[in-house]
């Protein structure tokens, strides 16, 4: 640790500031404007840098690190195309409230605005998709800016913060002094808790016949899973989860129903439609949960919304009881007031369990074809539900939500709000580096896997033991499903013929590759992958026409589900 008051360059100050913030790993890719930063790394062996093979891989890896650890992820890129290659990953993190500190180098200050080689106004481009961003004009400001950036990214409603540093500022001399804890005028890191609103909610719960809790990603972000379990144990109110809320409440809990929404379970969606009190806990009532918002929860006499961001309350769904606050604090107070609903709770839960038995989330098994749902069930059984699962975006994402059971927070890593293809595999690298003692399984389709497949090199070089699943149906599966059901089988531009042999692709990078097309092969291949000390890729060949059910079509109410051919 350097002494305070030490003279150094802006680049050295940046690296020291990252260490002072507890950063252990940076994901990045160098370039001309960033060379002073990378040169400083040759004199600093305390900070681990992972050289990704594309800037998008770097930002997704930082995102996976952040989601799985709860700490801010850090990525680094050069100016121009290096910076713009980060934009999709920044937007991904912004939509899902993920803490990132994104550092970009830029051309020297005297060239800013001159259309210099590899110049891009990354600050202007990212203003709508960052929680805050900085353009560094003085090297002496670097310690303060870093301290503020991590504070902003990791408090309140979390999100990405971008720091853009011109090349000459990276080289300028300055005196390093770590600033005091940041006091940012106008920034409220944690809203004040108003107990009166929580008391009104508890009164509404006491009056309700059919109360229902919706557990959103905010439960995970605020580390409030324990408080939510205690609250449900006291009140015996059933719980449904949003997609990104999975794991925030244990799937094995007797009062957990299932995921709700677009591909949610029958019982969960019917519970929303039948409930007379709906309480959203850290969910922003997005369209994939509510579907036709005018038909959402039609029997609810009251809708309550708990969120750390006051702007979300009442934004999408009319809210009768709005509670702004950190969910952990809100639930802690609510637990002190909680009482069981008694017989009413049991009658309501009995109705829900009857629906769970009537229409469980299921699939038609086969002895001749390898069903993707079977693969996810097999992975769950082999890992005993203890793995961190990262997914790309598509049908496999929903099968992973439906058929892997999440009993721990930060166990499901996926792009929810933006739905970013290419996210799944690099995010698994970040999750594995952040959790070296956990099994990390990356579940991908054959489309999304090809968007960041080059990061196989990173797994091979560093022997990062991610187990990579490719569910290969040879088409863009979710697009095909929608074209089948909505566009009357008018299939357009979904054929992925010409995709690589994924086993040979893995082997070309130095990663073990395996393939399976039936149940017995799948079991053997997965067992071999699990016994492989380093990374392994398993391609599971699945039917082209397998669909995800249940499904609620756009514009339909939650109780208007397509359940499949059962």
DSSP states of 119-152 as a string? Answer: ---HHHHHGGGSSEEEE---GGGHHHHHHHHHHH
Give the full edge-to-edge strand order of the sheet including 512-516: 412-413, 388-391, 440-445, 467-472, 536-541, 512-516
| Active-site residue, from 12, 27, 41, 55 | 55
Going 484 to 487 to 489 to 491, the CA torsion angle's sign is negative
Strands (E), 47-99: 48-51, 73-77
Instruction: Decide: 168 and 107 in contact? Cβ < 8 Å.
Output: no
Burial label for 216, CB within 10 Å (0-12, 13-18, 19+), is: buried
- For residue 155, CA distances in Å to 105, 147, 363, 364 come to 25, 12, 42, 45
Helix (H) or strand (E) holding 307: strand 302-307
Which pLDDT does position 565 carry in this prediction? 81
CA distance 277 to 209: 8
Sign of CA dihedral 258, 260, 265, 266: positive
> The dihedral of CA 232, 235, 240, 245: what is its sign?
negative
Report whether 239 contacts 268 (CB < 8 A).
no
What gap in Å lies between CA 140 and CA 172, rounded to an integer?
Answer: 9
User: Cα–Cα distances in Å, from 536 out to 237, 412, 467, 542?
Assistant: 42, 20, 5, 19
**CB-based contacts of 129, cutoff 8 Å, min separation 6:** 87, 90, 91, 94, 160
> What pTM was computed for the model?
0.96
From 2, 95, 118, 125, the catalytic residue: 118
135 carries an active-site annotation: no
Length of the chain: 566
Active-site residue, selected from the candidate residues 478, 512, 519, 551: 478
- What's the confidence (pLDDT) of residue 348? 95
Q: Is 285 a catalytic residue?
A: no
- Return the closest-CA partner of residue 102 out of 138, 120, 129: 129
Does the active-site annotation cover 55? yes
**Catalytic, out of 158, 167, 371, 467:** 167
Q: Are 410 and 40 in contact (CB under 8 A)?
A: no
Nearest to 267 by CA among 191, 362, 335, 343: 362
- Known active-site residue 231: no
pLDDT at 181: 87
pLDDT of amino acid 453: 98
Beta bridge partners of 305: 280, 322
Q: Residue 183: how many CB atoms within 10 A of its CB?
A: 9
Angle of CA points 79, 81, 84, to nearest 5°: 90
Question: Alpha helix (H) ranges present in 262-371?
Answer: 266-274, 287-290, 327-337, 343-358
The catalytically annotated residue of 7, 43, 117, 346 is: 117
**In a 3-state reduction of DSSP, which class is residue 205?**
helix
pLDDT for 1 equals: 43
In order along its 566 residues, the chain shows pLDDT tens digits of 445 688 999 999 999 999 999 999 999 999 999 999 999 999 999 999 999 999 999 999 999 999 999 999 999 999 999 999 999 999 999 999 999 999 999 999 999 999 999 999 999 999 999 999 999 999 999 999 999 999 999 999 999 999 999 999 999 999 999 998 888 988 988 899 999 999 999 999 999 999 999 999 999 999 999 999 999 999 999 999 999 999 999 999 999 999 999 999 999 999 999 999 999 999 999 999 999 999 999 999 999 999 999 999 999 999 999 999 999 999 999 999 998 766 778 899 999 999 999 999 999 999 999 999 999 999 999 999 999 999 999 999 999 999 999 999 999 999 999 999 999 999 999 999 999 999 999 999 999 999 999 999 999 999 999 999 999 999 999 999 999 999 999 999 999 999 999 999 999 999 999 999 999 999 999 999 999 999 999 999 999 999 999 999 999 999 999 999 87
Residue 550 contacts residue 564 (beta carbons within 8 Å): yes
Q: What is the 3-state secondary structure (H, E, C) of 342-358?
A: CHHHHHHHHHHHHHHHH
Q: Active-site residue 167, yes or no?
A: yes
């Amino acid at each position: 640790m350097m002494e305070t008051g030490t003279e150094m360059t802006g680049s050295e100050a940046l690296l020291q500031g990252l260490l002072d913030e507890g950063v252990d790993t940076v994901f990045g890719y160098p370039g001309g404007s960033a060379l002073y930063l990378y040169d400083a790394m040759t004199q600093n062996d305390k900070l681990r840098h992972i050289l990704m093979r594309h800037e998008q891989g770097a930002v997704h890896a930082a995102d996976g690190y952040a989601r799985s650890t709860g700490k801010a992820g850090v990525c680094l890129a050069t100016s121009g195309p290096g910076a713009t290659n980060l934009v999709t990953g920044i937007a991904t993190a912004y939509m899902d409230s993920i803490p990132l500190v994104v550092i970009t180098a830029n051309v020297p200050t005297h060239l800013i605005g001159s259309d210099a080689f590899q110049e891009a106004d990354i600050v202007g481009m990212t203003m709508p998709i960052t929680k805050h961003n900085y353009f560094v004009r003085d090297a002496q400001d670097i310690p303060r800016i870093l301290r503020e950036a991590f504070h902003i990214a990791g408090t309140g409603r979390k999100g990405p913060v971008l720091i853009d540093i011109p090349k000459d500022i990276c080289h300028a001399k300055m005196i390093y002094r770590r600033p005091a804890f940041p006091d940012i005028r106008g920034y409220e890191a944690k809203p004040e808790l108003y107990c009166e609103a929580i008391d009104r909610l508890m009164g509404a719960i006491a009056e309700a016949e059919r109360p229902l809790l919706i557990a959103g990603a905010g439960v995970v972000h605020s580390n409030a899973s324990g408080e939510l379990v205690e609250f449900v144990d006291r009140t015996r109110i059933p719980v449904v989860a949003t997609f990104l809320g999975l794991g925030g409440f244990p799937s094995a809990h007797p009062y957990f129903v299932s995921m709700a929404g677009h591909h949610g379970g029958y019982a969960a969606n019917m519970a929303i439609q039948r409930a007379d009190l709906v309480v959203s806990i850290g969910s922003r009532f997005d369209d994939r949960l509510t579907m036709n918002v005018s038909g959402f929860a039609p029997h609810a006499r009251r809708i309550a919304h708990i969120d750390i961001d006051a702007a979300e309350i009442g934004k999408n769904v009319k809210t009768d009881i709005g509670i702004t606050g950190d969910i952990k604090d809100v639930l802690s107070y609510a637990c002190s007031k909680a009482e069981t609903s008694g017989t009413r709770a049991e009658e309501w839960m009995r109705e829900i369990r009857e629906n769970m038995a009537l229409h469980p989330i299921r699939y038609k098994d086969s002895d001749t074809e390898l069903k993707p749902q079977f693969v996810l069930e097999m992975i769950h059984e082999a890992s005993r539900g203890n793995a961190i699962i990262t997914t790309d975006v598509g049908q496999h994402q929903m099968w992973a939500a439906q058929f892997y059971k999440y009993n721990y927070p930060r166990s499901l890593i996926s792009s929810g709000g933006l739905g970013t293809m290419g996210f799944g595999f690099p995010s698994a690298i970040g999750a594995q580096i952040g959790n070296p003692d956990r099994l990390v399984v990356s579940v991908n389709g054959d489309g999304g896997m090809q968007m960041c497949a080059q990061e196989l090199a990173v797994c091979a070089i560093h022997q990062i033991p991610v187990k990579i699943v490719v569910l290969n149906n040879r088409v863009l599966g979710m697009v095909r499903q929608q074209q089948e059901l909505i566009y009357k089988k008018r299939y357009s531009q979904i054929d992925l013929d010409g995709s690589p042999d994924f086993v040979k692709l893995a082997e070309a990078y130095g990663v073990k590759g395996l393939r399976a097309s039936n149940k017995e092969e799948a079991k053997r291949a997965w067992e071999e992958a699990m016994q492989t000390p380093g990374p392994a890729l398993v391609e599971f060949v699945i039917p082209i026409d397998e669909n995800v059910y249940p499904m609620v079509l756009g514009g339909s109410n939650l109780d208007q589900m397509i359940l499949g051919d059962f």
